Amino acid sequence: MTNNISLENQYKRTPLFEKENVNYLVHVLKRFNTVPKINNINIITSNSQPDVFKIVPNKSIIIGSLYLKNPVLALVYLRYGIEWQLWYKALNNKENTVLCDLAALKVTRIFYKLLPKEDKEKLQNVHYYLIDKIKKEEEVNTADLDKYKELENFHGLKKENKNFKESWKPILENLAKPTEYLLMDGGDLRLNIDEIDLLNKYGCRPFPRPEAFTFASSTATSVSNFAFDKADKVRSILIKNSLKNGFIDTTIDFAESLKNNLKTLFKLKNECEIIFSPSGTDSSLQIAAITQIVTKKEITHVLVASDETGSGVPAALKGCHFENTTALNFPISKGERIKGFRDVELIKIPFRDEKGQLKSTSQLDEEVFRAISETNKLGRQVVLHVMDHSKLGYQSPSEEMMQKLEVLENLSMQVIIDAAQLRLDPADIRKYLEKGYIMSITGSKYFTGPPYSGALIFPESVSKLIDSSKNKLPEGLTEYFNHSDWPTSWFCSKELSEGFNYGSYMRWKAAIVEMDRYFKTPVLYRNMGIEMFCNFVEDSIKDATFLEPIYGNEINASTYNNEEFRIKNIRTIFPFFILKNSEALPVDKVKKLYVLLNSDLSEQFKGSSLETIRLAAQKCHIGQAVNVKYGDDNQSAVLRISLGARVISESWVNRDISMYFRNIELQMNQITVIIKKIELILNTPSLLNS
């Protein structure tokens, strides 16, 4: 075919590249970054056949220049073509391509749904076979293959007697989904994204967002380009292995490899068991269930930092539904008791008193000790939830108080370490496990994996206790968890649901990728970079007259008494009030400012200086609002700037020490921009009042 040119070599001074179109082309091509990268597949544009779309199996995709005049149309067609090639490469029998047709159609339909509203509007009055097909709200029907016969025209590999193998169904169901969809699948409605900015409740998205300045690790973070690419490659490998070795064996191997990777990263014993869960709150539900199968005693949960745990944690510990849908997409009623759970007592110990003041360490220790000693006198089973880094950066109870508990006679207690933030070194994790404590962690806070990557780590002693129990988990948990998520040897979980939560696995894959590259940064430079960055953030907040930090030197006072640097002994979360006329903003305006900070506001500053317009345009994602009283009566909220692992790992490139510190300085400059944008919003009352 003549006049065929590789897409990358197609830039000519045609009307396509006129000034008004360039920005939109850039916008669309950014989304092209979420399309799988396949080796040796060329994308070629044709000028001689402007309306052609052709898939040359295992070689190329040819797309006519007519498609390129509507970049969104071209994007959707290329997404279909590349997905088809991905499945074709994985397919053993190259003659029966019906699986490729159906998988590519299913993936492209989901891809289309995840396009922003403005992109879909570009296709509103466009009628092509593929576009019309994916716009239809219907599931792929493997029983009626004739409905998809015209898809064969794209590649020309036609076969009269097509059949869809039964073994393909779970592969199509679980893996024929774009990676960005998998990263928000198997969680709950809070992971859904809006159709304008493609942001979820936490202000991030399930595919890379490099245009934003991101220091939101205390809440949630958009997946990095690096981790997204690794997760995307793993999906391709899983498709190939599932077709070759079977879906179930491939998936079990994948899940076990993730758990083994975690054990390797933290240097844990093989005897430690790990359960993945869709969220930290789901982990609390797992704790509640496990506790009641290993003891016949009445149970009391002592929840330290009840005002800074996940909002659904108290309900989960009581064995109640904490949302209106489960991670397995079952509709339920929030607040109702889950079938099979028995009554428990829950003692809440908040960090702050009724006036909003932070309690002292001794005061918190006293409350915890009193709650446990009084409960112990009643002969109940105590489950103590220790907070090791709350969402505002606090820890309780103290190690001294934990040692004091050892003098209580006949104490029956299991300790759970709430390390959801995972602002710990591997040595800290091992130390907790050696004491027989259960660790509740996430890969989505400090390590900046996609939101909803929860897990429990069980020490050997506790795992053996659970393994020996012949009691079954509460039957209502079949709506929450799959048997495959739990250790295969445990009797208690054998009646959980069949199936696999691929969303949870893929989020953990991305999180483990982040952990791995973080720990590959030499420890000297890693720790120096942490101190350098955190010192700058602390000073920057204190220097801004319109910001008021809510922390003092309560952590730093003990930092230098330890010979070994420990990340848990340095403040890495920096919460602050926002002041206007020396008064803290009310909650609603803090939340409004949080959204504005994460948005492009340049339209509101037309006619201003270029510097102001650029500042207004910059999207800044920081930790979301947490309600905290300002003084005795003024209910306000704080925002947070947080250190995340990527500050370190993305600075350490090419093993160049000078560039490493320079890269951290560049991120420190981003902190300055964030604070300036907060000031800009404060000085523009119409923004907060609209």
Q: What is the per-residue DSSP string for 402-449?
A: HHHGGGSTT--EEEEEEETT----HHHHHHHHHTTPEEEEESSSTT-P
Is 70 a member of any domain?
yes
Domain final residue, candidates 127, 152, 177: 152
Residues 530 and 396 in one domain: no
Residues 487 and 563 in one domain: no
> How many other β-carbons are positioned within 10 Å of the β-carbon of residue 257?
14
Q: What pLDDT is stored for residue 21 in this prediction?
A: 67
Q: What pLDDT is stored for residue 645 in this prediction?
A: 98
Q: Which CATH number do you get for residue 353?
A: 3.40.640
- Specify the residue for token string 């897409």: 7
Q: How far is the C-alpha of 318 from the C-alpha of 344, rounded, in Å? A: 6
Assigned token pair, 231 = 């997760």
Is 218 a member of any domain?
no
Q: How far is the C-alpha of 323 from the C-alpha of 190, rounded, in Å? A: 10
Residues 371 and 484 in one domain: yes
Residue 203's nearest CA partner among 503, 481, 488, 595 is 595
pTM given for the model:
0.93
Residue 450's nearest CA partner among 141, 227, 667, 214 is 227
Is 263 a member of any domain?
no
Cis before 278? omega within 30: no
- Helical pair 657-682 and 523-543, crossing angle rounded to 10 deg: 20
Q: What pLDDT is stored for residue 615 in this prediction?
A: 98
Residue 115's nearest CA partner among 49, 161, 183, 178 is 178
Residues 582 and 660 in one domain: yes
Cβ neighbours for 228, distance < 8 A, ≥ 6 positions apart: 34, 179, 180, 183, 207, 208, 510
Pair 416, 438: CB distance under 8 Å: yes
Is 192 a member of any domain?
no
Is 236 a member of any domain?
no
Within 13 A of 8's CA, how many CA atoms are on the CB side?
3
- 42, β-bridge pairs: 60
Domain final residue, candidates 152, 179, 209: 152
Q: How far is the C-alpha of 58 from the C-alpha of 42, rounded, in Å? A: 9
CA dihedral over 675, 680, 686, 690, signed as positive or negative:
negative
Is 186 a member of any domain?
no
Residues 8 and 58 in one domain: yes
Domain final residue, candidates 437, 469, 501: 501
The DSSP line for 48-98 is: SSTT-EEEETTTEEEEEHHHHTSHHHHHHHHHHHHHHHHHHHH-S-TT--H
Q: What pLDDT is stored for residue 96 in this prediction?
A: 85
Q: What pLDDT is stored for residue 23 in this prediction?
A: 72
- Specify the residue for token string 């923004």: 687
Residues 493 and 609 in one domain: no
Is 512 a member of any domain?
no
Structural domain containing residue 395: 271-501
Q: What pLDDT is stored for residue 561 in this prediction?
A: 53
Alpha-carbon radius of gyration of the chain: 27
Cis before 450? omega within 30: no
Number of domains in the chain: 3
* 3-class secondary structure, 255: helix
Q: Running along the chain, 690 residues long, what does each successive block of 10 average in pLDDT?
A: 55 58 73 87 88 94 88 93 96 87 96 94 92 88 89 88 90 97 89 93 94 96 97 97 96 95 96 92 95 95 92 94 89 94 96 88 96 95 95 92 91 96 96 97 96 95 92 93 89 90 96 97 95 97 96 55 77 97 95 97 95 97 94 89 97 90 97 98 93
Residue 572's nearest CA partner among 544, 624, 530, 542 is 530
Give the β-pairing of 299-304 and 381-388: parallel
Residues 299 and 448 in one domain: yes
Residues 411 and 538 in one domain: no
Q: What pLDDT is stored for residue 252 in this prediction?
A: 94
Assigned token pair, 342 = 């028995």
Residues 299 and 421 in one domain: yes
Residues 55 and 104 in one domain: yes
Q: What pLDDT is stored for residue 6 in this prediction?
A: 62
Assigned token pair, 449 = 């994996």
Residues 496 and 524 in one domain: no
What is the identity of the amino acid at 469? S
H or E segment and range at residue 384: strand 381-388
- Specify the residue for token string 């490469």: 89
* 3-class secondary structure, 314: helix
CA dihedral over 432, 438, 444, 445, signed as positive or negative:
negative
Q: How far is the C-alpha of 481 from the C-alpha of 485, rounded, in Å? A: 7
Residues 145 and 62 in one domain: yes
Q: What pLDDT is stored for residue 411 in this prediction?
A: 93
Is 35 a member of any domain?
yes
Residue 514's nearest CA partner among 234, 215, 226 is 226
Q: What pLDDT is stored for residue 557 in this prediction?
A: 41
Q: What pLDDT is stored for residue 5 in this prediction?
A: 55
